[in-house]
């Protein structure tokens, strides 16, 4: 089956490479790190959640392997023009709206102040799918889904806050009902990302399945897309060096484990796997070769 990773951030070498390379060469190295990573685990394509220059570098070098998702400046004077022309660029597939703060798991005040409203309106008008980073505030997205029924919405990270980078929670699934409440809106999809971080068991993270089954029952496999966010899985050592909240965490999650717990499970059918691991993201983002 085709496997598409629905999220990674720009990687970088584990050690600084110094000043011996110019900016373009350094960026190319980061492209190759991403290409090498997806090759190592058998991923066919992947979505870079990154800056426009890095997205363009990935797509220019490997147009058949990479697409991009951009966080737009929602206050930009030329926001409409940016959104209207974005999808005409090779590999530019979607935008992202940071409605909550990942570091604190708090709703950004811009949401209640209406400062994201035109972002959503333009995205709906110009058929730009948006990923919504809610970090436990998925329930508030109901009003967006109701006001913009033509907007393709994807709720990041199962709609819950995940540590790292959000603060650790005693019950990491306690906000899942907020996500499930959105299933009644046909324009809302789910990004199945970070479930291993919500597990209290080693691989294959069997304790996540009672919760994931609720997501599958509510949305169906054709509205769920998988993402590894493998670059975030590598941040734990640096976070532990600066923040004592992360001291209890003993290990990071391997890219292969973040895929194989889902690909190799008997908890869902092979047909569901085909949708979640590739066909859903193709459909939702209208991603054509």
Cα gap 227→194, rounded to integer Å: 8
Q: Which of 135, 40, 50 is nearest to 93 (CA)?
A: 50
* Per-residue model confidence as pLDDT tens digits over 78-97: 999 999 999 999 999 999 99
Cα gap 104→7, rounded to integer Å: 21
Which tokens belong to 247? Answer: 């001291």
* Per-residue model confidence as pLDDT tens digits over 235-287: 666 666 677 776 666 667 899 999 999 999 999 999 999 999 999 999 999 99
* Per-residue model confidence as pLDDT tens digits over 148-194: 999 999 999 999 999 888 988 889 999 999 999 999 999 999 999 99
pLDDT for the residue numbered 79: 98
Please, are residues 138 and 162 in contact by the beta-carbon 8 Å criterion?
no
Work out the mean pLDDT of the chain and round it to a whole number. 94
Sequence-ordered list of residues with C-beta below 8 angstroms from that of 26, at least 6 positions apart, any chain: 17
Q: Could you give the count of Cα atoms lying within 13 Å of 65 in the half-sphere of its Cβ? A: 17
Q: Name the pairing type of β-strands 106-107 and 45-49.
A: unpaired
Confidence check: pLDDT of 65 > 80: yes
Alpha helical stretches, state H, the chain: 23-41, 52-61, 79-86, 109-112, 117-125, 141-147, 176-180, 209-219, 236-240, 255-263, 270-274, 280-285
Q: Identify the structural domains of the chain with CATH numbers, from first to last.
A: 4-285 (3.20.20.140)
Residue 77: what are its φ and ψ, rounded to 5°?
A: -60, -35
Which tokens belong to 216? Answer: 């599958």
* Per-residue model confidence as pLDDT tens digits over 279-288: 999 999 999 9
DSSP string, 252-268: ---HHHHHHHHHT-SSS
Torsion angle of C-alpha atoms 207, 275, 281, 151, degrees rounded to 10: -90
SS3 content of the chain, % helix, strand, coil (to 5): 45, 15, 40
Confidence check: pLDDT of 196 > 90: yes
Residue with tokens 């949305």: 219
Q: Which of 179, 255, 172 is nearest to 224 (CA)?
A: 179
Task: With both helix axes pointing from N to C terminus, report the angle between 255-263 and 23-41 in degrees, rounded to the nearest 10.
Answer: 30
């Amino acid at each position: 089956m085709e496997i598409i990773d629905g999220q990674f951030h720009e990687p970088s070498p584990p050690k600084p490479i110094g000043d011996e390379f110019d900016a373009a060469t350094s960026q190319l190295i980061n492209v190759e790190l991403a290409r090498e990573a997806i090759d190592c685990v058998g991923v066919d394509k992947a979505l870079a959640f990154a800056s426009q220059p890095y997205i363009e570098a990935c797509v220019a070098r490997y147009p058949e392997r990479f697409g991009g998702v951009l966080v737009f400046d929602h206050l930009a004077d030329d926001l409409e023009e940016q959104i209207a022309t974005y999808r005409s660029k090779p590999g530019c597939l979607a935008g992202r709206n940071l409605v909550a703060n990942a570091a604190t798991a708090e709703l950004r005040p811009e949401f209640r102040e209406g400062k994201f409203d035109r972002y959503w309106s333009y995205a709906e008008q110009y058929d730009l799918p948006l990923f919504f980073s809610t970090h436990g505030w998925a329930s508030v997205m109901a009003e967006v889904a109701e006001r913009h029924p033509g907007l393709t919405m994807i709720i990041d990270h199962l709609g819950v806050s995940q540590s790292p980078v959000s603060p650790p929670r005693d019950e990491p699934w306690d906000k899942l009902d907020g996500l499930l409440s959105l299933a009644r809106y046909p324009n809302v999809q789910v990004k199945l990302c970070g479930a291993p971080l919500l597990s209290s068991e080693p691989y294959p993270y069997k304790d996540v399945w009672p919760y994931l089954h609720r997501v599958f029952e509510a949305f169906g496999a054709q509205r769920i897309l998988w993402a590894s966010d493998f670059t975030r899985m590598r941040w734990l050592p640096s976070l532990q060096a600066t923040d004592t909240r992360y001291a209890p965490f003993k290990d990071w999650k391997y890219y292969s484990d973040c895929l194989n717990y889902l690909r190799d499970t008997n908890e869902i059918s092979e047909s569901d796997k085909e949708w979640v691991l590739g066909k859903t993201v193709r459909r939702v983002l209208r991603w054509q070769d």
